[in-house]
Amino acid sequence: MSERLCASALKTLPASIAAPAYDRNEQQVGIVHFGIGAFHRAHQAWYTDAAMNAGERDWSILGVSLRSPGVAAQLNPQDGLYTLVECSAQGRSARVIGSVHEVLVAGVARARLAIALTAPQTRIVSFTVTEKGYCRKADGSLDFDAAARGFYPFLSNALRERQASGCGGLTLLSCDNLADNGRQLARLMHEWLAREAPDLVEWFEAECTCPSTMVDRIVPATTSADRSEVAQLLGCLDEGAVMTEPFSQWVIEDRFARGRPAWEKFGAQLVADVAPYETAKLRMLNGAHSALAYLGLQRGHTYVHEAMGDGAIRPLIECIMRDEAAPTVVAAPGQDLDTYADALLARFENPALNHKLAQIAMDGSQKIPQRWLETLEAQRLAGRKCPGLLTALAAWFLHLRGANGPVDDPMADTLSNLALSNSNLQLATLLFTGDGLLSGFWNPLGIDIPETPLDCGRRAIKHRLRTR
Ligand code: CS2
């Protein structure tokens, strides 16, 4: 099979595969999205496609890839089309998504990107650039060297043009797993402008908004086996296919500068305050996910559902979710955290999703503060211990020592050197004092355990293996 999915192939798709019901050529770009990886395609682009299927107009997405030309090569020959496959124990269902107009590689298509960002009909610029894409230093402030290679210059140039032409501000919509993602983006953008374009600061604050969001959908990286399966379903090749779970959640603070699609008609929750949803998600879902990653790799597993089936790991994961994270969370109105935990565990057990632990283990230095350390700090203040999280932390230390192969993390060198130099205490101190990395979440003098977390955690793992 050599034919690729593209606009002209839509009419030959099997009847079981739903396809865009709107005239894609008639749609203008309303959203420019930085970081058009699998997650964006399975989440925000899927909601936007649903909105356009229901009749909303001119919210097509122009995807931007900051570094890798890979996504452009996947989607552009396919006219931006790709298949979304929902996988569960009950089976698979597939549909073709049409909301992505095109993908630009930022460094290559600078002029076209500038035009898109300054077009009056572009009203939202959204982001899934991962935690490290915001270019924060250990103390949370902007790392200007890294930021100069990220999205910041593109955006500030565009804001200048928009101010000059009077075509109005933008909504900057962060869809990454950061605590208070909108406020963090606003603060970082402000820092960038204050140094690089001080005359724009006031206009930015008056004309642009940065709503916070909580995004949730598990999206494993697509494999070549997945692509073969999709080809069988479609009858043509799809290099841009994404595999995901049936569940999806998007909670958005309703503060848009110049309108938005009616995403709430398709399941998104528009609320005044995202924080309770986001805190529960980061500490319970993502916190447990990162623990599964390091503990699971340590025990020789490859996928999340395998680690969930390991009797030495699962009780720790439940303990982290229910006993350690949940008590630090103030539930959103109507949210029951026990039921939430039940649903998360069931999602992690999904046998039809091959979600690699190694994918979650990446970039620990960027993820662990909001996933674990905030829980640890809250529990410390309450005088309670967290054996589950300390065990997970120990597994992370072992990971940094190379126990699971090369470490994929922007701070890999610093952390691995520390871990390998056998200075458990130094590593723990660095983590907990905020001397370098994870900024002041824990004062080591307050740690009420006799050994360093590494030894403690190693013992806990051994103990659990023995008592299994
Ligand atoms: C995962 C998340 O890779 C990771 O670190 O924890 O991508 C997770 O799958 C999503 O946040 C789920 O919404």
Q: Give pLDDT, residue 7.
A: 97
**Strand 100-105 versus strand 60-65 pairing type:** parallel
Residues 354 and 88: their CA atoms lie apart, in Å, by 11
Return the minimum-mean-pLDDT range out of 69-78, 191-200, 314-323, 394-403. Answer: 394-403
Percentage of the chain surpassing pLDDT 70? 90
Q: Using CA positions, which residue lies closest to atom 6 of ligand 1?
A: 286
Q: Give pLDDT, residue 374.
A: 85
Confidence of residue 441 (pLDDT cuts 50, 70, 90): very low
What is the CA(393)–ligand 1 centre distance, in A? 18
In the predicted structure, residue 458 carries a pLDDT above the cut 50 = no
List the Cα angle 151/287/331 in 5-degree steps: 95
Q: Using CA positions, which residue lies closest to atom 13 of ligand 1?
A: 216
Binding pocket residue ranges, ligand 1, CB within 6 Å: 177, 216-218, 286, 289, 359-360, 367
Between 378 and 195, residue with greater pLDDT: 195
Q: Give pLDDT, residue 202.
A: 98
Q: How many residues does the chain have?
A: 468
Confidence of residue 421 (pLDDT cuts 50, 70, 90): low
In the predicted structure, residue 78 carries a pLDDT above the cut 70 = yes
What is the CA(236)–ligand 1 centre distance, in A? 30
The whole-number average pLDDT for the span 436-443 is 32
Q: Using CA positions, which residue lies closest to atom 5 of ligand 1?
A: 360
Among 43, 131, 289, the mutation site with the greatest number of ligand 1 atoms within 8 A of its Cβ is 289
CB 138 within 8 A of CB 434: yes
Q: Give pLDDT, residue 28.
A: 97
Between 368 and 60, residue with greater pLDDT: 60
Where b means 16+ CB within 10 Å and e means fewer, 425-464 reads: eebbbbbbbbebbbbebbeeeebeeeebbbebbbebbeeb
The whole-number average pLDDT for the span 167-191 is 97
Return the minimum-mean-pLDDT range out of 268-272, 299-303, 438-442. Answer: 438-442
Return the minimum-mean-pLDDT range out of 87-101, 174-188, 232-246, 443-457. Answer: 443-457
Among 44, 177, 317, the mutation site with the greatest number of ligand 1 atoms within 8 A of its Cβ is 177
What is the CA(83)–ligand 1 centre distance, in A? 20
The whole-number average pLDDT for the span 179-188 is 96
The whole-number average pLDDT for the span 248-261 is 98
**Cβ neighbours, 10 Å, residue 195:** 11
Which atom of ligand 1 lies closest to the CA of 177?
11
In the predicted structure, residue 236 carries a pLDDT above the cut 60 = yes
Tokens for 375?
Answer: 């829980």
CB 334 within 8 A of CB 266: no
Confidence of residue 401 (pLDDT cuts 50, 70, 90): confident
Q: Give pLDDT, residue 383.
A: 83
Confidence of residue 454 (pLDDT cuts 50, 70, 90): very low
In the predicted structure, residue 104 carries a pLDDT above the cut 60 = yes
* DSSP 8-state secondary structure symbol assigned to residue 5: P
What is the pTM assigned to this prediction? 0.91
Residues 288 and 346: their CA atoms lie apart, in Å, by 13
Q: Any bridge partners for residue 404, and if so which?
A: none
Percentage of the chain surpassing pLDDT 90? 76
Among 285, 308, 320, 396, the mutation site with the greatest number of ligand 1 atoms within 8 A of its Cβ is 285
Q: Give pLDDT, residue 397.
A: 81
ipTM over 0.90: yes
